[in-house]
Amino acid sequence: MPGVDPDELPKKKVSHEIGQDLSLLSVAELTERIGLLKEEITRLDAEKTRKHASKSAADTFFKK
């Protein structure tokens, strides 16, 4: 039976759990997670802005 090439194994998706132990992560892993979290913050800010604009439009429309 031939061996399995590690490059052919599916890659585990990097994720971060708030409060998880960071002591076992390398500097590269920490840097990658910081990047992921910054991207998520940007995504959340964009959604917040979109919802705020929608709410403002509704408030203006329904203003008496």
In a domain, 47, yes or no: yes
In a domain, 50, yes or no: yes
In a domain, 32, yes or no: yes
Number of domains in the chain: 1
Mean pLDDT of 5-32: 86
pLDDT higher than threshold 60 for residue 1: no
In a domain, 59, yes or no: yes
- With a CB cutoff of 8 Å and minimum separation 6, the contacts of 29 are 14
- Print the SS3 string covering the chain: CCCCCHHHCCCCCCCCCCCCCCCCCCHHHHHHHHHHHHHHHHHHHHHHHHHHHHHHHHHHHHCC
In a domain, 45, yes or no: yes
In a domain, 55, yes or no: yes
In a domain, 5, yes or no: no
What is the Cα gyration radius of the chain? Answer: 21
In a domain, 63, yes or no: yes
Range of the domain at 64: 27-64
pLDDT higher than threshold 90 for residue 41: yes
Nearest to 34 by CA among 42, 55, 6: 42
pLDDT band, very low/low/confident/very high, at 64 (cuts 50, 70, 90): low
pTM of this structure: 0.65
